[in-house]
Structure 1
């Protein structure tokens, strides 16, 4: 996914609470309805709300996603803005959500549990929108300078992965840096006030920090050799019962990402240009530049699978997961999905 979609899809970390999940369950009760007068049941795809920017937001506003899904007798039920992937993974496993977006790093951590989902699409790592932020006046000039410092990270996903990758590449022992575990949406104030020396994060938070708070990347994802793909997950039962819907949704993701990449500015502030969800003028230039360098959702290839395995091995080596997670059994081949999820 591109910066705007990922930004709104990942920013609201508290909205997949028990109340929100209960609401998802309520929408599940209405998941079967009369479709087209021919007696064909209509399937409801429960999807986190995309917020104010990105092609999914536009698809919600102009109805194009529902029109695309209508061809396979389906429609979307927006469940409220998504939070981090960990609670979304729990919602998938509890039959309270059908699809969700995350990172391969957060997916590996979730797959170490008892997953009720598989991955059906990937977007290549965001080399320029994620990394380790420091303030413009910081004395920290190299990754080696992080030794003895405090770095804010979100535990067990993108943030912690980026820091550990940077330290490994620069030969800095992980225990020489103090990891301060914070929720991503609660870190900005801590970083801006100087309570931590650096912040490992992704484009949801890096774009406003760079645009508005006098920060810059010490190193970005590309520079640390990140394999941190964005991935789409689908609930096992949904993929098994409605493979044609998953394929139609994947096609919309792929085409929508290409259109947004071609005209990033046209997908900003879809519903409003003011308020907390709006991209400010200062952020717009950064957001457009990151999107133009981004990829679109695509099938998961053998090469991608190998890089997923590298992430899993790295997390096991770094003791982020207690054991090595084999990601391959949890991947879906879209090309053969009509014959059942692999």
Structure 2
């Protein structure tokens, strides 16, 4: 089915999930390769260690650290320099860049992490932020007549295949007792879904705060179930290239401390971490959307080390993904976790 002037909707294929991730990775790798350092240069650098991180855009701890120089100062203490490489985006394509030695750090959801780990990973996770209780969920347009998860039967729901969106939808359906095959999953890139959703080509959107804030801020849509309602275990994680962590544990530790301290400050003063480089244009949040994001951040988590309790919840997500046939088998995520508290002493597990 073709839709004029907006991305073509396609049904979720029943082929291996790695196909779409590999295609998405091509674009990311092209950007990364064009402006990043080589593997040798990244590890040694002319004046110390170079750590390659996706450009953070206009909001968040890294964006503020880039602008005010505080991240550079923190890394200089361990003889490291940051190189901003490409731009931040979904973890699945970024994981491909990590595996290709074109990136050292990436962030994303545990759900995308699992589908990436199902391949041949060259990275591990070293921080966790608790699942977002209010900024992610199943979004519907006001006046759609969809008032509950049960009302999704026979409807089309936009998801990002193998990532947060598909996870949230499957969790919502499972909790509501709705068979997954009673709802049509429509696989779309998150940055292309708003137009499809707002023109009614899909009935609902399984989405997270990066994209839900704009819709909620316009007052044209609402959640029928948020992260808390579906019992989401969708942690946000920070990944590091395994070889980099092995060679430079002190840099990874310093980055963790910076992210943790910054996230604590961000939760106290969310507005101070918004519109960091510009307060106008498509990257900026204003009005109701800005107020919505501030409210979400205040209710969110902070960047923390990964604990045994976290790993247990990661395993629950891995088991759920295998049961739902998102992955072919249960991914052993525990084998790809670093205890950053022990990393500097060379005792990470």
Q: Above 0.5 in TM-score?
A: yes
Return the TM-score normalized by structure 1: 0.92
CA distance in 2, matches of 1:328, 1:17: 27
Q: Deviations over 1:144-169 (max 9, x none)?
A: 00000000001001000000000000
CA distance in 1, matches of 2:177, 2:155: 15
Q: Deviations over 1:3-33 (max 9, x none)?
A: xxxxxxxxxx899534212125436564334
Matched, 1:76 2:82: yes
Return the TM-score normalized by structure 2: 0.90
Paired residues for 1:97-136 under 5 Å: 97-136=103-142
- The equivalent residue for 1:19 is 30
- The equivalent residue for 1:151 is 157
Aligned with 2:229: secondary structure?
helix
> How far apart are residue 267 of structure 1 and its match?
1.2
CA contact (8 A) 1:109 1:321 kept: yes
Matched, 1:200 2:206: yes
Matched, 1:189 2:200: no
Structure 1 alignment gaps of length 5 or more: 1-12, 36-41
> How far apart are residue 61 of structure 1 and its match?
0.4
CA distance in 2, matches of 1:180, 1:244: 43
Aligned mate of 1:47, from 35, 48, 53: 53
CA distance in 2, matches of 1:72, 1:301: 25
Aligned mate of 1:311, from 313, 317, 330: 317
CA distance in 1, matches of 2:60, 2:91: 19
- The equivalent residue for 2:248 is 242
CA contact (8 A) 2:279 2:285 kept: yes
Aligned mate of 2:300, from 289, 294, 297: 294
| Range 235-244 or range 205-214, more displaced | 205-214
> How far apart are residue 281 of structure 1 and its match?
1.7
- The equivalent residue for 2:224 is 218
CA distance in 1, matches of 2:54, 2:228: 29
Task: Name the count of aligned residue pairs.
Answer: 324
Matched, 1:324 2:335: no
CA distance in 1, matches of 2:115, 2:197: 25
> How far apart are residue 252 of structure 1 and its match?
0.3
CA contact (8 A) 1:120 1:332 kept: yes
Aligned with 1:187: secondary structure?
helix
CA distance in 1, matches of 2:247, 2:185: 43
Matched, 1:177 2:183: yes
CA contact (8 A) 1:15 1:83 kept: no
Q: Deviations over 1:183-235 (max 9, x none)?
A: 00010000000011000010000000111260000100000000000000000
> How far apart are residue 96 of structure 1 and its match?
0.3
Cα 1:16–1:58 shift into 2, 3 Å: farther
Matched, 1:161 2:163: no
CA distance in 2, matches of 1:284, 1:143: 28
CA contact (8 A) 2:54 2:87 kept: yes
| Range 262-271 or range 312-321, more displaced | 262-271
CA contact (8 A) 1:133 1:218 kept: yes
- The equivalent residue for 1:66 is 72
> How far apart are residue 54 of structure 1 and its match?
1.4
Structure 2 alignment gaps of length 5 or more: 1-23
Aligned with 1:218: secondary structure?
strand
